[in-house]
Amino acid sequence: MVFLPSKEAGQLAPIPDSISISEFMLNERHGRVPHASSRDPYTCGLTGKSYSSQEVANRVDSLARSLSKEFGWAPNEGSEWDKTLAVFALNTIDSLPLFWAVHRLGGVVTPANASYSAAELTHQLLDSKAKALVTCLPLLAISLEAAAKAGLPKNRIYLLDVPDQILGGAKPPAEYKPVSELIAAGKSLPPVDELRWSAGEGARRAAFLCYSSGTSGMPKGVMISHRNVIANTLQIKASEQSYRDGGGTRTPIQEIALGLLPQSHIYALVVICHAGSYRGDQTVVLPRFELKSYLHAIQHFKIISLFLVPPIIIHMLSSQEVCSEYDLSSVKVMFTGAAPLGAETANDFLKVYPNIMIRQGYGLTETSTVISSTLPHDVWLGSSGSLIPGFEVRIMTPENEEITTYDTPGELVVRGPSVVLGYLNNEKATKETFVDGWMRTGDEGVIRQSPNGIEHVFIVDRIKELIKVKGLQVAPAELESHLLAHPDVSDCAVVAIPDARAGEVPKAIIVKSPTAGSDESVSKALLKHVEEHKARHKWLKGGIRFVDAIPKSPSGKILRRLIRDQEREARRKAGSKI
C-alpha cells in the first residue's frame, strides 16, 4: 500500500527542470514573491546589517562575474564537477549569495560542517575534488591544515566576513581575499553568459554536494540536483500555502524567521534559506548558537518563526532563569526537525510557552529535505507531521513485504521529486539506497490516523543506527573504524545513549587488546584519540565501557539494540540506587 498526502496538504505546482537554483530563486518569472514585496531575505542577528531582496540578486550577479574571472569558470563550458567550490564557514548573510553565484556559473557547492576537524574537512575536499575553499577567520587554521593535506594552494582560499563580535578584535590576514572584495570587483566586470540548459538538465546536474553519515565508513557525498531543491521549495510552499490561504492561521503571509541552524545542514539550507526567501520571508542569521544572543535576537527582531532542533528546546527548558529575562512573545510557531521531539518534551515546552504552536517535520539529506510536516490545524505532539504534496511512502518489513495497516512499524521507503541523484563515487551505496525510483530511508516508522482522519508519520527507531547529536549525524561505524586503528583496541561498538542537552551522545563499548594497560589509562587515551581527530559532536561524551566481547549475530553484525538495552538497564539500576 502506498500512503499519499492528504487533500489538506495542498497542490504542488509544476516543477521546472531546465533552470538553475539561482534562476529559480532570483527571477520573478518562476513564482517567487516579487523583490519589491519581499522582506530583506538575510539580516545579521548580531550587527543588524541587512540586504534587500534586489540587493541579494545584484550581489549574486557581481560575485558570479568575479568568480568567472578568478577561476576561469564559464556558465556553458565543462561539467559542474569542473567548478566545485567548498564552503567551510559559520553562518553569514553572504553564504547564500555565494552559493547562488556558483550555481549561476553551472557549478557545485559542497558545504562542510563548521564543527569539522581538519581530518574530516580534508576528506570532503579530496572526495569532492573542490577547486577552491571559502572559509572564515575563526575556522582559518583548520582550513589551512586541511587544504595543505588536500593539495589545495593558499591562493585558492577565500574568506567570508563574520561579525566583529565573533572575531574579538582579530584581523583577517591580507593574503586571503575576502568574498566582499570579489563582489565589489565584480560590479565593473562584464556580465557572464546566461545558462543555456536543455529540458531535464536541471534534474541531471548537481547543485549541492552535502555530506551525510552513512552506516559505514566516512561521510558520503550526496548529489543534490537543481530540480531537487526547486522541488522541495515548491513542495514546502504548497504545504504552507494550503493553510495560509485557508484562514485561521496564526502566522502572516511573510514571516520573520530565525536562521540559527548550520547553513551546511540540509534542514537550514532548504527549509530556511531557500523556501523562506522564495516566499519573501526575512531570515535573521546568527553565526552559531549562544543562548543569550539567540534570545536577544528573538526579542530585538521580533522573530515569528523558530526553526530549531530538540537539544535547543531542551536547553531552553533547563535555562528558564535566563530565558525569562527576554520577551519572546513575538514567536508564534516553533518548527523542529533533524531528530524526533518527544511528546513529553513538547508538552513541557507548551507549559512554559502556551501561545507557541509546535510543528515537527521529517526529512533527510537524501530527500533534500522535507518529507512530512505538521499541518497547523492537525497538531499531534510526537508526530513528524503529514506527507507534503509530491511524496509517496511505503512501509516495508525486513523481509521486504509491504505493510498496509496503520500502527504497524517498518522501514519507510519514499518517492518524490526531491529525492537526490545518489552518492558521489559510491555506486554500491547508491544501489542499496535508491531502488526502482524509491529511496530507502533506513528509518523505522509507522503511519497513524489522527482523530481528524489525517495520516501522520511517526518515527520510532533508526534502522541505520545513526546517532543524532544536537541534530547532527554520527555514524557509529565511522567512530568504530577510528577506534579500531588504536593499538589498545581489539574490538568495539559505538551506540547512542540519551543526553539531556544533546538528545543523544556516542558511547564506546571496548574490548581491550592483550597489550593494553589499565581501564583508566586506555579510557583517557581513547577519549584523546577521538577528540584530536573528530568534530566535537562525535566525541565520546557518553563515556567508555570495557567488556570481554561485543555482542554480535552469527553473521558478525553488532547487536546494537541489545547493547542499548544493556545500557538502559544499567542506567535504570543506577538510578534506583540514588
Last residue of a domain, one of 462, 483, 509: 462
Question: Looking at 241-250, 362-371, 451-460, 479-488, which range is the least confident one?
Answer: 241-250
Please list, residue by residue across 521-531, b when 16 or more beta carbons sit within 10 angstroms of its beta carbon and e when fewer do.
ebbeebbebbe
Q: Model confidence at 9, in pLDDT bands (50, 70, 90)?
A: confident
Mean pLDDT of 512-524: 93
Say whether both 359 and 484 belong to one domain.
Answer: no
478 confidence band (pLDDT: 50, 70, 90) = confident
Other Cβ atoms closer than 10 A to 396: 15
pLDDT band at 577 (very low <50, low <70, confident <90, very high): very low
448 lies in the same domain as 480: no
363 and 389 in a single domain? The answer is: yes
pLDDT at 248 over 50: no
Assign 569 a pLDDT band (cuts: 50, 70, 90).
Answer: confident
Residue 174 forms part of a structural domain: yes
What would the DSSP string read from start to end of 377-445? TS--TT---EEPTT-EEEEE-TTSPEE-STT--EEEEEE-TT---EETT-HHHHHHHEETTEEEEEEEE
Cα–Cα distances in Å, from 107 out to 219, 246, 288, 459? 22, 39, 27, 35
- Check whether residue 146 and residue 160 sit in a common domain: yes
250 compared with 383, residue with greater pLDDT:
383
**Is 278 contained in some domain?**
yes
Cell numbers 548558537 correspond to 289
In DSSP notation, 154-207 reads: GGGEEE----HHHHTT----TTS-BHHHHHHHHTTSPPPPPP---TTHHHHSEE
Output the pLDDT for position 252.
43
Strand order in the sheet with 220-225: 157-159, 132-135, 84-88, 108-112, 206-212, 220-225, 422-423
CATH number at residue 253: 3.40.50.12780
For residue 245, what pLDDT is reported? 47
Among the residue ranges 101-110, 118-127, 163-172, 387-396, the one predicted with the least confidence is 163-172
d(CA 507, CA 528): 14
213 pLDDT tier (thresholds 50, 70, 90): low
What is the predicted pLDDT for the residue at 168? 85
Same domain, 190 and 304: no
Do 474 and 433 sit in the same domain of this protein?
A: no
Share of the chain above pLDDT 90, in %: 77
Mean pLDDT of the chain: 91
**266-280, 364-378, 494-508, 519-533, range with the lowest pLDDT:** 494-508
401 with 542, same domain: the answer is: no
At residue 212, what is the residue type? S
In a domain, 123, yes or no: yes
The pLDDT of 314-337, averaged and rounded, is: 94
Angle between helices 310-317 and 343-352 (to 10 degrees): 50
Residue with C-alpha cell 510543528?
A: 359
The CATH number given to whatever domain includes residue 545 is: 3.30.300.30
Say if strands 206-212 and 434-435 run parallel, antiparallel, or are unpaired. unpaired
The model's pLDDT over 46-65, given as tens digits with 9 standing for 90+, comes to 999 999 999 999 999 999 99
Give per-residue pLDDT as tens, 251-286.
Answer: 445 789 999 999 999 999 999 999 999 999 999 999
Q: Residue 551 half-sphere exposure, CB side, CA atoms within 13 Å?
A: 11
> Percent helix, strand, coil in the chain (nearest 5)?
35, 25, 40
Residues of the chain with pLDDT > 70, as a percent, come to: 95
Residue 224 · residue 208 · CB < 8 Å: yes
Residue 558 shares a structural domain with residue 535:
yes
Q: Which of 462, 481, 498 is the last residue of a domain?
A: 462
Helix axes 179-186, 53-71, angle to 10 degrees: 90
Residue of higher predicted confidence among 364 and 247 = 364
Domain boundary among 429, 462, 495: 462
336, 259: one domain: yes
Is 384 found in the same domain as 262? yes
Query: Is residue 17 assigned to a domain?
Result: no
| Total domain count, the chain | 3
66: which residues sit within 8 A by CB, 6+ positions away?
182, 183, 185, 186, 189
CATH no. for residue 154? 3.40.50.980
* Same domain for 410 and 268: yes
Task: Indicate whether 136 belongs to any domain.
Answer: yes
Residues 240 and 346 in one domain: yes
Domain that holds residue 567: 467-573
What would the pLDDT profile of 68-111 be if each residue is shown by its tens digit? Answer: 999 999 999 999 999 999 999 999 999 999 999 999 999 999 99
| Environment class of 370 (CB within 10 Å of its CB; exposed 0-12, middle 13-18, buried 19+) | buried
The verdict on residue 395 lying in a domain is yes
Give the pLDDT confidence of 102-148 residue by residue, as tens digits.
999 999 999 999 989 999 999 999 999 999 999 999 999 999 999 99
Q: In this structure, is residue 210 part of a structural domain?
A: no
- Specify the pLDDT at position 249: 41
Gyration radius from the chain CA atoms: 23
Q: Is residue 205 part of a domain?
A: no
Q: What is the pLDDT of residue 466?
A: 77
pLDDT at 555: 47
